[in-house]
Chains A and B, each alone.
Chain A
Amino acid sequence: MIDFDYAVPTSLSEAVSLMGSNGGSARMLAGGTDLLIMMRAGRRLAKLVVDAKSVPELNELSLTDSGLNLGAATSCKRIWDDEPVVQAYPALNDSASIIGSVQIQGRASVGGNLCNAAPSADCTPTLIVHSGVCTIAGPNGTRQVPVEEFCTGPGTNVLQPGELLVNIKLPSAPTNSGAHYLRFTPRNEMDIAVAGSAAFVQLDESKQNFASARISLAAVAPTPLFAKAAGDLLVGKPVNEESIQQAAEAAKAVAKPITDMRGTVDQRIHLVGVLTARALRKAVERAREA
């Protein structure tokens, strides 16, 4: 690991100006569970590391009538420790409580998971199905980007040099809705998804038909994938195994995985079907309980 400078800004404006210094080679540090490992391995270089944990806006976690304001540096542990947040967004809790281990979750942030832009990121599909929107701050002010447009490839995202992610806003969950995220890993903890699937469903008043649905997939494309068509086809359909299998098939159709040490193309496409069906069943169950 090469020597680097380290700064701890205490305001957003200070953070933005630090990120803009050093000719764009500054990197933000939230939990560091991706960054430090990559710097050690020489896969990320930074002359300046800017710590996110003392910037108030980056550490907000507030639940209001309009939804959730999730500061980018909020750790997974803060999410699963916050009972109202867990109640309102159980799928976010599903994601936050499977990353790494308890020790990792004490540091790892949702924003870091998103910015790191791994195809296998466990939080990102959940943010996508909840229609999350990113607030980005930079030298030219702030801008908003839907989560599903944030990642651009393995390890790359829409942030321009000098920009940072401030927060992710999730709209409040409508009535009769439910969501679930699950992944497949050979181990039961400390593992990276072979494939993952998040589902959000809203049922009609009878709770017998889908009013809307969103599905998003992990580890089966260069970025976390929004499987829009798979969710859309459920609109107006009755809640039954046939509809669920149709959506699962549609999700399989958009998956474009690769074969690597974690799984093969065939295995991953098959898993997308299995996991999407399971995610939908659980999301429906949660919607009916709600």
Chain B
Amino acid sequence: MSTTIERSSQYKVIGKDVLRPDGVDKVTGRAVFADDVHLNGMLHAKVLRSPHAHAKIRSIDVSEALKMPGVRAVVTSEDFPPIPEGIVKEEGAAFFALASDKVLFRGHAVAAVAADSPHVADEALSKIKVEYEVLKAVLDPREAMEPGAPVLHEKLNPMSFGARLEQHSPNALQQITSMGDIEQGFREADVVVEREFTTKTVHQGYIEPQSCVVDTAPDGSVTIWSTCQGPFRHRDNTADLLQLPQNKVKVIPTEIGGGFGGKEVPYLEPMAAILSRKTGRPVKITMSRSDVFEGTGPACASYMRVKFGAKKTGELVAAHLYFCFEAGAFPGAPVGGAVGIGLGRYKIPNQLVEGFDVVVNKPRTQPYRAPGATQIHFATEGVVDELCEKIGMDPIEFRLKNVVQEGDRNVQGVPFLRIGGVEVLEAIKNSDHYKTPLEGPNRGRGVALGFWRNGGGMSSCSISVHPDGTVSIIEGSPDLSGTRTGIGMQAAETLGIPFEDVRITVVDTDSVGYTMGSWGSRTSFATGWAAIEAARDVNLKMVERASSIWSVPPEEVEVSDGTFYHRDDGSKKFTFKQLAARLNATGGPVVGSSVVDPTRGVGPAFAANVVDLEVDPETGKVTILRYTVAQDVGQALHPGMVEGQLEGGTVQGIGWALNEEYFFDNDGQMRNSSFLDYRMPVALDVPMIDTIIIEVPNPGHPYGVRGVGENNIITPPAAIAAAIHNAIGVRMTDLPMSPGYVLQALWQQNGH
């Protein structure tokens, strides 16, 4: 394993591997996760889930369950206030209020029981009698789009990931974008490749299951301890569903054991709040692993058809991308996002993208690290690899020829600022890995390029300066990946103080201004920016204070690197600590605060991979031999943690590529809802990964930060598919490329 940084700027705090403040607590077990919260008199609840993929609920009888000793309350959809149209802003969020007239997937929550112990609650579930009228289920997106397919909803909500979609058919929404004239484009092409691809449902596989403790006070106000990515969304959804004012719902985000997009919505909190209201006691619900697989939101499966045309000289001239994302039981697959980035990395003058958000009787999907991008890149980079083969061009040269650069326009027509596509490709081309020939039978090498636009959005922060010159920062972004460290570093850099003088805490929804969730590679960028602005506010106020102490106009006082000084008078000078010590006696403490919404400065980013692997031709098993990732991170705030992100995303991408899948039977039952049978990679399945950290500073951010967390999962399936082709000569078009499937492809190749 090696890590290389191509560094562009030098800072005092940023870019150093400081000690992360949450490290010791996490390693020693002191850190408090949601399931570690214990309150006096706390009850435990369990959720009854639908055994059918699609059924009408005729009746629910909870009387026997309520009679069991130790059972305190039961909740069903009847306990929720009627949900007025449009009140729950997130698509499908109504389903956190439990199934009412229909269940739409196996695992759909129907009722929950609160009892003195989790075992009693568990046993009580078997006493609830639900009468179902089983309906025909539809499990495949293409079948769901056919006339006559079973219909899931009377009406589909047309909002998906902030994009407005159009109704296509009873189970499908669509979004179409185009540029140029694709028919003309394909006529100009010397080589055209067209293929179909599919991918299966996969889970984020966070190690900590969903868990919450909810306490409803006699006045109806609700306090929620939860493992969540977006406490403010949890608050708003819960308040909406319970029809409470937002200031009567407080969400306290606990430490979080992974999320990757899967912990953005409140599966348990609203029902726990009602159980707590009914009993007057706090209620805990912690999911089992099979609850997590069946009852939360995995990443969508997909069907994709891709046609690319290129000149013999390598220029792409036309592209048609058609894809159906399997949304699960409610619409909301990342169609808008995928339309936006699907072809975004290449200059293609003529293009047509048609995306479909299709509901089927499976769990309602959620984002997973660069939502939609891994699927789309698997298909489109697969076609690019084949074009390279047909034209006889080196895959990196081909991509260098076509990759977008500063000034090129994105699909929305906006020109890119400085971006690092060329740099990541050059880094792979010049890597020791790419320059070392690969030898041996059944071995192959593949490359792929990934593109992700990253996110911005609202964040808030405030900083208090203490008399001894240390500071406390509060912010509202749950720390999934070390973000509190990177955010604190940006504040320390701006204040010109050492990182060790900063204490940073993620606080509840009453204590800090609105902050969007930790998703979309936005946190270090946007909440980091909020920390910078709060630090600037501190600096401004400290400058004012120095000016009043010195009795000079504030314009004459300057600050740089944590020193406040008079423009002309060298005797007037305070270090940060000296001035901090004077604050309380000279007008009171200084608190800086900020609210930002930096959507314009978001810096899109690229990652490129080269992978070597070997295929066992007798079993179809793929062994990864060597893996190198190059990613443009803008500015590595904490190189150690950036390296961790690159490796982590790559490992998840390898799992998605090779083995991970929901195995549904014909009735829509998941057959492998445990980590033993849902095969995420274990340590022995992945090699040490070489990382090349590229810093092409984002001109839109004060310290050049770009999102880092998502880009790295996008390319592995595509790179691995290319390497398998290189090793054994077969094109793998379906994920996962599990041994059975590779074996089948080999048999087909040999006319078996």
Minimum CB–CB distance from B655 to chain A (whole Å) comes to 10
Are the CB atoms of A261 and B663 closer together than 8 Å? yes
Which of these binds chain B: A62-70, A135-143, A184-192? A184-192
User: Are the C-beta atoms of A192 and B677 separated by less than 8 Å?
Assistant: yes
Query: For the complex, what is the distance from the CA of A194 to the CA of B621, rounded to whole Å?
Result: 12
Chain A residue total in the interface (Cβ 8 A): 22
Nearest B-chain residue to A42, judged by Cβ: B126
Other-chain contact of A189, B122, B672, B682, B744 (Cβ < 8 Å): B682
Q: Using Cβ atoms and an 8 Å threshold, which residues of chain B touch A267?
A: 739-740, 743-744
**B residues less than 8 Å from A2 (CB atoms):** 119, 123
- Number of interchain pairs (Cβ within 8 Å): 53
Report whether B671 and A188 are in contact in the complex, using a CB–CB cutoff of 8 Å.
no
Complex Cα distance, B621 from A184, in Å, reads: 9
21 pairs, CB–CB < 8 Å, chain A vs chain B? A1-B119, A2-B123, A101-B682, A186-B658, A186-B679, A187-B659, A187-B684, A187-B685, A189-B683, A190-B682, A191-B676, A191-B679, A192-B677, A261-B671, A261-B672, A262-B677, A264-B740, A267-B740, A267-B743, A267-B744, A274-B618
A263 at the interface (CB under 8 A from B): yes
Contacts of A187 in B (CB 8 A): 659, 679, 681-682, 684-685
Query: How far is it, in angstroms, between the C-alpha of A261 and the C-alpha of B743 when the chains are bound?
Result: 16
Asked if A3 is at the interface of the complex by the 8 Å CB criterion, the answer is: yes
Q: Is the CB of A260 closer than 8 A to any CB of chain B?
A: yes
Q: Which of A3, A189, A263 contacts B740 (CB 8 A)?
A: A263
In the bound assembly, the distance between CA atoms of A270 and B591 in angstroms comes to 70
Leading 9 A-B pairs by shortest Cβ distance: A188-B684, A261-B663, A274-B618, A261-B671, A267-B740, A189-B684, A261-B672, A186-B659, A189-B682
- Does A117 make an interface contact (CB < 8 A)? no
Residues of A within 8 A of B684 (CB): 187-189
Give A256-290 interface residues, CB cut-off 8 Å to B. 260-264, 267, 270-271, 274
User: B288 → chain A, closest Cβ, in Å?
Assistant: 8
Q: Are the C-beta atoms of A274 and B619 separated by less than 8 Å?
A: yes
Q: A3-B119, A261-B663 are in contact. Are A186 and B682 (CB under 8 A)?
A: no
Of listed B618, B621, B677, B744, residue having the most chain A CB within 10 A: B618
B628: CB under 8 A from chain A? no
B738 at the interface (CB under 8 A from A): yes
In B701-746, which residues have CB < 8 Å from any A CB?
738-740, 743-744
By a beta-carbon cutoff of 8 Å, the part of chain A in contact with chain B is: 1-3, 101, 184, 186-192, 194, 260-264, 267, 270-271, 274
Residues in B with CB closer than 8 Å to A192 are 676-677
In whole angstroms, what is the CA distance A252 to B738 when docked? 22
CA distance A273 to B672 in the complex (A): 27
- Is B119 touching A184 in the complex (CB atoms < 8 A)? no
Q: Report A-chain residues with C-beta under 8 Å of the C-beta of B739.
A: 184, 186, 194, 267
Q: How far is the CB of B737 from chain A (nearest CB, A)?
A: 11
Which residues from A are CB-within-8-Å of B671? 260-261
Asked if residues B119 and A270 are in contact (CB atoms below 8 Å), the reply is no
Q: How far is the CB of A270 from chain B (nearest CB, A)?
A: 7
A97 vs B557: C-alpha distance when bound (angstroms): 71
Q: In the assembled complex, which residues on chain B have CB atoms less than 8 Å from the CB atom of A190?
A: 675-676, 682
Check if A1 sits within 8 Å of B685, measured CB to CB.
no
In the complex, the chain B residue whose C-beta lies closest to that of A192 is B676
In the bound complex, CA of A190 to CA of B677 (Å): 9
Assembled-state Cα–Cα distance A101/B684 (Å): 11
Contact with A along B111-133 (1 / 0, CB 8 A): 00000000100110000000000
Nearest residue in B to A188 (C-beta to C-beta)?
Answer: B684
User: When chains A and B are docked, how far (Å) is the Cα of A186 from the Cα of B740?
Assistant: 9
